[in-house]
Structure 1
């Protein structure tokens, strides 16, 4: 069980300034070092790193030693600057682009979650990356992949459809491969918010909240939240906190750590001149939740305008410019990290809980109510706007005195009991 008074971690998802994630094709350790210097200069303590799966494993039975060596060099460079490293393995999906090996596509089309040969190759790939870093003190552990659930369901144009049972089995095998490569490290998985919001999504809240060393949440207000509530709306500035509290409802360990692993200020929903305020408010609200492991901002550096075809918002999400100059959001998070350095994180329990009912706890067939515009989402936002600090409790535990007491909950409210107000 984690120490409830441990200090918080603040970091950035590392986006290389030279060539974006294509930098693995022309790996330049000096450029990486300069990038890491600028990240460390913000006072951050960790980075999340993204190998591109097709470049590291271009054939099902070939994991390129040189690519693995370069990943280790990056981790060692981070260590020299006081930065710990988490590595995402199966990339997977990044900033609207898919990166899948040729041996899973077109003429070799195979389901990446269900085909036995693909699964075996993924296991060996994750084990190899983890083993290469296992003896590095600054290696935190592996994340299986970045929002890989987007490959399993709509709206992906060519999804690899699977059942929830297949998703759970796949996650368990991938996590076991990471553990085999680097025993005892902080291995986890991470999905985009369809896990919490989309009916029929095979990757479920229960899987997110119960498999792996921590629960990861990715908070993006361009999902309808900012469009509905505006840039300063309660729901917008508390979206990350909402996801954290929603995730906690499925925890079986009341002190399981939660990692706000991705959060950013996307333009035009959050205009550049308001990015610092959004950063400050979002992090402050997230840190008003218990058992937060840390915050990892998306992303470290802006994407170069020399690169084509990204969605417009992707170019400007960095804490630093592509020339490594600190932006207002970067200055804001640097100040937050400094203010929290050495301080224990122990917010007061949230004593009022809003009841969420998604149907069966394990399968959650009715998740749409939790999405922006859904009855539960809007009720939670209304309560928050009224000055309440709402937790979330599953319907099956709403009258379980032992469960409520373990979480410090003394009052339970259902969305139907609330008076409608404007959030």
Structure 2
């Protein structure tokens, strides 16, 4: 196999560094008792780390409690938050239809129980979603620090199991829905970076209707959410090379489905979940994860989950959710925060372009994505990657149907393709 120890020398655009903003007071329920001074204190702490952006979460049912009521005061508060961020040199990405955050579902009553309608196919629901996304985007369209809209937080979890009550759809219906809601964002704020973001079932789960192709082809950037509690750390251990490389794995895997080389990828969520990553190891895990991610080409940025720990005064969260912050609930910088701050400072002035990845693993997930579980921890593609990175390799990925496309392989700098069976024996 080809050795890839060389490093490129040409400069690349500096990556963005940010945090998913979790308010220190009241978590995301802070919208119910909005306190701009508390928000400013939180954002001061984020800016002091040297980060350049935050991803913020206007909770959908709090902002749109009725299908035809988008609360003006709530929208004003969102704009106030964005302006406070701008005063501290922070850009803002706005997450619209969260649906799900930290084990809790957030859906408006007009989609549930007596008014139960499919989130993705009911025309009234989709019309309401589009109106809401368009309204938020338009409210921020003239703010220079507004990056753009993310459709929602891992809303694909509502479309299949293991959600206990999914709104099942086909991949074609998911495609139609994504196209419509992304268009609404563009109507509200033309020219901004609008995107959608799924959790890793889109890449790993055979029956998930949101697909890798949609993730890598729709929207202005491919979003990746990397969590090693998905079986990676359990199977391989916290010190394994593949655990620190999981985010890079997902970034490179996404490139296999992109239509054009060079599509940007945003590592939009990544964190150090205890106890799989103990507190004593969080800083080392942060450094390993970010270094590996930025050893991939075309990375738009890294946005850590999350800014602040969840307060212990709030009940019923999974234990790991209380300790994911870069900062404690009272604003003290944690070791992971120190690590990310140092990395942001080191990378701010540019970086050498990552070296090519001349060896590519073949991904055969089926034309209908029905075999994409080969990419999940335990699957042949994933385990072949784990074997190669343990040996110091830096593999890329190529779809089985593109192995014979010489021009495409050359454009990506791929000179050798290897099937997982050849690696695993």
Coarse TM-score class (shorter-chain normalised): over 0.9
Match of 1:398 in 2: 403
C-alpha separation in 2, matches of 1:93 and 1:419: 37
Take 2:98 and 2:284, find their aligned partners in 1: how far apart are those partners? Answer: 31
Which residue of the partner structure matches residue 87 of structure 1? 94
* Structure 2 match to 1:388: 393
Paired position in structure 1 for 2:249: 242
Whether the 8 Å CA contact 1:61–1:121 is kept in 2: the answer is yes
Whether the aligned pair in 2 keeps the contact of 1:6 and 1:345 (CA below 8 Å) is: no
Q: Secondary structure at the match of 2:12?
A: coil
Deviation of the 1:163 alpha carbon:
0.6
- Is contact 2:362-2:417 (8 Å) kept? yes
Partner of 2:46: 39
- Aligned pairs for 1:123-142 within 5 A: 123-142=130-149
Aligned to 1:117: 124
Aligned residues: 416
Contact 1:305 1:315 in 2 (8 A): yes
Which consecutive unaligned segments of at least 5 residues does structure 1 have?
A: none
1:342 lines up with 2:383 in the alignment: no
- SS at the partner of 1:132? helix
For residues 27-106 of structure 1, the aligned pairs below 5 Å read 27-106=34-113
Aligned residue among 397, 409, 414 for 1:409: 414
1:5 matches 2:12: yes
Shift of 1:5: 2.0
For 2:258, the equivalent position in structure 1 comes to 251
- The offset of 1:336, in angstroms, is 0.1
Q: In structure 2, what is the equivalent of residue 372 of structure 1?
A: 377
Partner of 1:222: 229
CA–CA distance in structure 2, aligned partners of residues 192 and 407 of structure 1: 26
TM-score by length of 1: 0.97
Q: Residues of 2 paired with 1:29 and 1:345: CA distance?
A: 40
Where 1:418 maps in the other structure, the secondary structure is helix
Deviation track 1:96-147 (CA, whole Å, cap 9, x = no partner) reads 0000000000000000101000000000000000000000000000000000
Distance 1:345 1:148, change over 3 A: farther
Aligned partners of 1:7 and 1:345 also within 8 Å: no
Counterpart check, 1:148 vs 2:145: no
Give the match's secondary structure for 1:165: helix
Which of structure 1's runs of 4+ aligned residues deviate more than 3 A?
Answer: none
SS in 2 for 1:123: helix
Shift of 1:47: 0.2
- Asked if structure 1 preserves the Cα contact closer than 8 Å seen for 2:133 and 2:151, the reply is yes
Distance of 1:264 and 1:132 partners within structure 2? 30
Aligned partners of 1:232, 1:284: CA distance in 2, in Å?
Answer: 15
For residue 419 of structure 1, report the CA deviation from its aligned partner: 4.7
Provide TM-score, normalisation by structure 2: 0.97
Superposition CA RMSD, Å: 1.0
Distance in 1 separating the partners of 2:91 and 2:251: 23
Q: How far apart in 2 are the matches of 1:331 and 1:348? A: 27
C-alpha displacement of 1:373: 0.7
**Cα distance, 1:416 vs. partner?**
1.4
Asked if residue 191 in structure 1 is aligned to residue 198 in structure 2, the reply is yes
SS in 2 for 1:296: strand
Select 2:365's aligned residue among 351, 358, 367: 358
| CA positional deviation for 1:259 | 0.2
Whole-Å Cα distance in 1 between the matches of residues 410 and 268 of structure 2?
A: 28
Identify which range, 379-388 or 128-137, moves more after superposition. 379-388
In structure 2, how many angstroms separate the alpha carbons of the residues matched to 1:387 and 1:398? 24
Q: CA deviation at 1:399?
A: 2.0
Secondary structure of 1:380's counterpart equals helix
How many Å separate the matches in 2 of 1:102 and 1:300?
Answer: 29
Q: CA deviation at 1:417?
A: 1.4
CA distance in 1, matches of 2:424, 2:149: 45
Checking the alignment, whether the CA contact within 8 Å between 2:11 and 2:350 is kept in structure 1 is: no
Equivalent residue for 1:260, pick from 259, 262, 267 = 267
**Which is worse superposed, 175-184 or 376-385?**
376-385
